[in-house]
Structure 1
Amino acid sequence: MKRLAWLVLCCFASNAYSNDEVSITLVGYISPVCEFTSQNSNLEFSSNGIANTALEINCNSPMRISMQSLNGGLSHEKSNKISPYNINWSLEGANKSVSVSAQAIKSTYSFNIDEILFDSIAEIQLTLDEPLIYAGRYQDVIRIEMTPSVVSGGVL
């Protein structure tokens, strides 16, 4: 009888110390999205040769910003005259500023932002190298593209 009680006690004790293990894997995914809007898409240089605008940026991943100038400067409507200007970026929240000439972005110019910018503002200032002297209309178009990336440095 003692043996039977001992055997039953051992069976209960071994069951009390047995363990089972379960692993649970959790997965989540959010698609990268970059949205931006310009406060003013038609800029006119002031008499002191400066034009300003801002971009409102909302991006949930690091990004690559690419710019391209159609003419590489302000093209005069009735001549081959191209008036050079510079573009200065200041990005709130990224501690990043970029300065580049319109001529340099005639071929696409890109730079990376490693920070994630929710509800941020990019201040853009355009500055003429020399005053405009010929009468008539001048024009250039700057194409700006922001590409999100889950890998720092943008998508190549």
Structure 2
Amino acid sequence: MKKYLGYLLCCFACNAYSNDEVALTLVGYISPKCEFTAENKNLIISSDGFANTELAINCNSPMRVSMLSENGGLRHQQGTHLNAYNVNLSIADANQSMSVSSQTLTVSQTFNVDKILFNSVAKLQLELVDPLIYAGNYQDVIRIEMTPSAVSGGVR
């Protein structure tokens, strides 16, 4: 009986020190956000046919960049004459650039940036194809959109 009681106490003692496991699942989430601001929103074409500005980018995910021209060129305010120009948008930190004619920007042009760009800069350069010859004002609006895009590559 003593032997049996000793064996029973030994079993209880071993069970008192047995391990239990708990699996914990950790979850975190940050909403995707892309912000950018233009150094200058009203660009004036210089007499030599150039204009440029910089865009400050702060994006916490890969992004899709799109550009669209309202007129497809500089439209003369008193008529329908259009002056075409070339656009170059480059993002050095992402090793990305897009060069297009204003005429092709009547349909949205896009490209994907797979890198995450915290505090980065994009350079926008415009160059007239032909000089402006008619007196008066010319205008076009270029819409640039930077949208967070998990489709464009994800976090690496």
Q: TM-score, normalised by structure 2?
A: 0.90
For 1:151 and 1:106, locate their aligned partners in 2 and report how far apart those are by CA, in whole Å. Answer: 25
Query: 1:4 is matched with which residue?
Result: 5
5+ residue gaps, structure 1: none
Query: 1:65 is matched with which residue?
Result: 65
Q: Which moved more, 1:74-83 or 1:21-30?
A: 74-83
* 1:94-105 matched pairs, under 5 angstroms: 94-105=94-105
Query: 2:36 is matched with which residue?
Result: 36
For 1:63 and 1:134, locate their aligned partners in 2 and report how far apart those are by CA, in whole Å. Answer: 40
Query: 2:126 is matched with which residue?
Result: 126
Query: 1:140 is matched with which residue?
Result: 140
Deviation at 1:43, TM superposition (A): 0.5
For 2:71 and 2:7, locate their aligned partners in 1 and report how far apart those are by CA, in whole Å. Answer: 95
For 1:3 and 1:113, locate their aligned partners in 2 and report how far apart those are by CA, in whole Å. Answer: 74
Deviation at 1:117, TM superposition (A): 0.8
Deviation at 1:153, TM superposition (A): 5.8
* 3-state DSSP of counterpart to 1:11: helix
CA RMSD between the two structures: 1.7
C-alpha distance 146-153 of structure 1, shift in aligned 2 (>3 A) = farther
Residues paired across the two proteins, number: 153
Decide which structure has greater helix share.
2
For 1:14 and 1:105, locate their aligned partners in 2 and report how far apart those are by CA, in whole Å. Answer: 75
5+ residue gaps, structure 2: none
Cα deviation per residue 1:91-112 (whole Å; 9 max; x = unaligned)?
Answer: 0311111101111111111111
Q: TM-score, normalised by structure 1?
A: 0.90
Q: CA contact under 8 A between 1:69 and 1:102: conserved in structure 2?
A: yes
Deviation at 1:26, TM superposition (A): 0.7
One-letter amino acid of the structure 2 residue matched with residue 132 of structure 1: L
* 3-state DSSP of counterpart to 1:115: coil
Q: CA contact under 8 A between 1:69 and 1:106: conserved in structure 2?
A: yes
Cα deviation per residue 1:14-70 (whole Å; 9 max; x = unaligned)?
Answer: 443x32110111111111111111000111111211100011111111111111101
